[in-house]
Amino acid sequence: MTRTFLLLIAAFSLLTTTAIRAQNVAPLPIPAPPGLAAKSYLLVDYHTGRVIAESNADMRLEPASLTKMMTAYIVSFQLTHSDLSPDDLVPVSHNAYKTIGSRSFLEPGSQVSVRDLMYGLVVQSGNDASVALAEHVGGSEEGFVTMMNEMAKRLGMADTNFVNATGLPAKDHYTTSRDMAKLAVAVIRDHPAHYRLYSVKEFTHNGIKQKNRNTLLLHDPTVDGIKTGHTEAAGYCLVASAKRGDMRLISVLMGARNEQQRGTESLRALNYGFRFYETLKIAEAKQKLGKVQVWGGQEDDVAMAVPTDHYVTLQSGQKTGLVPEFKMSSDVVAPVTAGQKLGVVSYKLNNKVVAELPIVALQAVERGGFFTRTADAFKRMLK
């Protein structure tokens, strides 16, 4: 056996530490996803983006207070990428104070920190807090809405248009379940510290305690977010996320008939996904998998890895049939750059490729001296 082949065997062993082995045992068919009482819904795996269940996921609907997910995302973005600080004091305008609907009971003319306004926005769903933040960050609510729609484009929310920062009914203010799922993924992925706000069960401002309207936080300890919404036109809406083990699912439900129904139906969707599917981490970023021989280099070999974490979502019980297959470059010749592609590993299930990942060099290898290159060239010729 050649040295390269032996190194690949070592890499194979490391990649299969989860005891993945080929079997021809087909899992039992799973039941169809539950039909949920809502105008639109979507159930998606956070890590892989795999859609597990959906109905009318691209139907344009009013988002109600789901809008505040984008309002909070913009504020989080500015806190990360500008000089905005959680301790900044925001003057509460009369315009913010008189905003109708759910509120944090802000006093006009008072000054409230960005931090407390974010709690008011996310936990209490305060429309007044939402407008106060929009005016402070965007100069006006209209200016802030421009930022919201620009961010929606960046996140690939092609069927969304915001008119205000609150979700109060307005012409041409719409989104879809699919776009809300994209936003939920971004909220969790891009600002994890701020995402923790969505699991806070209650918040008190101005002496008034209000509970988070996401009742799933009380009924299921694996649920850690994210946002409810309700208007007469939109019905009852809920974007929920739960994490069980290494698997995180996001459900979006829009247009339920009442508060109890949106919670019950969302939990049905989540339970279905966790019961019949599993997420498997098949690759960890830059974890050394082994080494590959390098010809004509200052080093005899180079460590290899996959460049990013990678997950797959499978039907429960299928992971034992997942088979990795390596295809490596026949000869690796110096110089080698860090990140240079050395080959690929394909994961197959029932002879169908479910993931294909590049294998790259973990570090650079410079060209060796004249005698090293000459000797290696002779060895390659004999090989």
Q: Any idea which residues carry the catalytic annotation? A: 65, 68, 125
Q: Choose among 262, 260, 255, 258: nearest CA to 240.
A: 262
Polymer length in residues for the chain? 383
Residue appearing with tokens 């049939």: 321
Ordered DSSP codes for 63-101: -GGGHHHHHHHHHHHHHHHSS--TT-EEE--HHHHT--S
Q: In this structure, how many other beta carbons lie within 10 angstroms of the beta carbon of residue 238?
A: 29
Count the alpha carbons within 13 Å of 286 in the hemisphere toward its beta carbon: 4
Q: Which contacts (CB < 8 Å, 24+ apart) does range 162-166 have?
A: 162/67, 162/70, 164/67, 165/67, 165/68, 165/71, 165/130, 165/131, 165/133, 165/134, 165/141, 166/65, 166/67, 166/68, 166/71, 166/99, 166/101, 166/127, 166/130, 166/131
Q: Choose among 84, 191, 190: nearest CA to 138.
A: 84
Q: Would you give the distance in Å from CA 25 to the centre of its chain? A: 32
Kind and range of the H or E element at 183? helix 177-190
Residues in contact with 349: Cβ distance below 8 Å, sequence separation at least 6, in sequence order: 314, 318, 321, 322, 323
Q: Choose among 157, 156, 217, 225: nearest CA to 192.
A: 225
Q: Choose among 281, 42, 319: nearest CA to 180.
A: 42
Q: Choose among 322, 332, 327: nearest CA to 354.
A: 322
Gyration radius (Cα) of the chain, Å: 26
Q: Choose among 284, 300, 280: nearest CA to 292.
A: 300
